Amino acid sequence: MRRLATLLLTTVVAGTLAGAQGASTKLLQIYVVDTEGGKATLFVSPSGQTALLDSGNAGGRDTDRLMAAITDAGVTKIDYLITTHYHGDHVGGLQELAKRMPIATFVDHGPSVEAREQVQGFQQAYAELYGKAKHLVVKPGDRVPITGVDWRVVTSAGQSLKTPLPGGGTPNPACAQFTPKDITVDPENGQSLGSVITLGQFRAIDLGDLLWNKEYELMCPKNPIGTIDLYLVSHHGTDPSGSPQLVHALQPRVAVMQNGTRKGAAPGAMTTMRSSPGLEDIWQLHWSYGAGIEQNSAGVFIANVEDAATVATVLTAPPRNSGPGGGGAGGPRPAPLPPHTPAYWIKITAQPDGSFTVSNNRNGFSKTYAARPRAR
């Protein structure tokens, strides 16, 4: 009897451990790394495969921060490095990262449409990197073959998804109120490679720096996406993106914004998000001077904050002068502040049932969002 009891106990323990391991492998982990107004987001699928969306700024600072998240996740290689577009705050860290971490496949929208490179010599260096690995140029409707999730491309090279995803294809009433914006600079933004990432009932969207008018092309007259749970905020929360036609149709429950202290979290973008049906919270990588008291989220939702004395100094400094030659009544602009040390990330852990938890690496605060019904 004792041997039988021991055998039964061993079987139960083994089954419990196997069940726990099986449950853990069903998670999708997302690390939104602080690049102070740039972008680098690490995804670890339930199978353990990895995708990195953009690689932050040049200079090594953002690469160090990204490597900290990679280490925390237990990642030993990047299976897919997905570049949304070729601006310096999105690709600046790629070359340094490639020196530190194996990268199996490079994914992008194709050649840059801008003659001037924001990272000097990038295109040649990039071609040398993907020439030694795998290289995918994707178009709307393509899948990035990451095991354990459905990673669908919805925008790329100025083109948008035409065949609706499951749950999409319904008329978008916000389209009737659309007002275009005249945005003529930085055309690479409009080329952004955008993705919808699905794990069971959980859905997230990232559109890089897709511009306002391109959002209309994607979302009107019908919404091909449907609703989503997590909105990785377009264009750092600046006003050339984040239209009501996009955000209100997607009806995100949570927005996570990759802003800096003086970049993003623009009042217009914040107002649009806060008025979106069903939005529960906005999580920010930084407290924003532009958003001010009215639009910034509560401190528990902000990964990187400045001390009260620094905030007071910036808020009471004379405004930037507007006169030619720097002699206007406003006086000189305050000197830029040093980078945050340490820099904290925001982490999302998603379950196939659609529930997910968002955590603030700075203060340990986390909030779990229960699964919600969704038409499929």
Preceding peptide of 187 cis, ω within 30°: no
Instruction: Supply the pLDDT for residue 307.
Output: 73
3: in domain? no
Give the tens place of pLDDT for each residue, 82-138: 999 999 999 999 999 999 999 999 999 999 999 999 999 999 999 999 999 999 999
d(CA 146, CA 28) in angstroms, rounded, equals 12
326: in domain? no
145: in domain? yes
d(CA 340, CA 285) in angstroms, rounded, equals 11
Instruction: Supply the pLDDT for residue 193.
Output: 98
Instruction: Supply the pLDDT for residue 341.
Output: 82
Cβ contact 374:201 at 8 Å: yes
The SS3 call for residue 245 is: helix
Phi, psi of 156 (to 5 degrees): -175, 135
324: in domain? no
User: Residues 6 or more apart from 18 whose CB is under 8 A from it?
Assistant: none
d(CA 196, CA 231) in angstroms, rounded, equals 10
The structure's pTM equals 0.89
With 0-12 CB in 10 A as exposed, 13-18 as middle and 19+ as buried, what is 54?
buried
| Residue pointed to by tokens 């920010």 | 284
Strand 159-160 and strand 170-171: the pairing is unpaired
Instruction: Supply the pLDDT for residue 99.
Output: 97
What range does the domain containing 358 cover?
26-305+339-369
Distances (CA, A) of 242 to 120, 208, 211, 247, 271: 29, 11, 8, 6, 10
Handedness of CA 177, 183, 187, 189 (dihedral sign): negative
50: in domain? yes
From the list 66, 64, 68, 36, the residue with the least C-alpha distance to 52 is: 66
User: Residues 6 or more apart from 367 whose CB is under 8 A from it?
Assistant: 281, 357, 358
262: in domain? yes
Distances (CA, A) of 88 to 99, 241, 248: 18, 18, 29
374: in domain? no
120: in domain? yes
Number of structural domains the chain divides into: 1
Preceding peptide of 342 cis, ω within 30°: yes
With 0-12 CB in 10 A as exposed, 13-18 as middle and 19+ as buried, what is 186?
middle
Q: Taking the chain (376 residues) in consecutive chunks of 10 residues, what is each chunk's mean pLDDT?
A: 41 40 70 97 97 97 97 98 98 98 98 95 97 98 97 98 96 97 92 98 98 98 98 97 98 98 96 97 96 94 85 66 40 61 95 98 98 71
CA–centroid distance for 181 within its chain = 23
Phi, psi of 212 (to 5 degrees): -45, -50
Question: DSSP H helical segments within the chain, as ranges?
Answer: 2-24, 61-73, 88-91, 94-100, 122-131, 212-219, 244-250, 267-274, 292-295, 308-316
From the list 50, 144, 153, the residue with the least C-alpha distance to 97 is: 50
Cβ contact 141:164 at 8 Å: no
Q: What CATH number should be reported for the domain holding residue 63?
A: 3.60.15.10
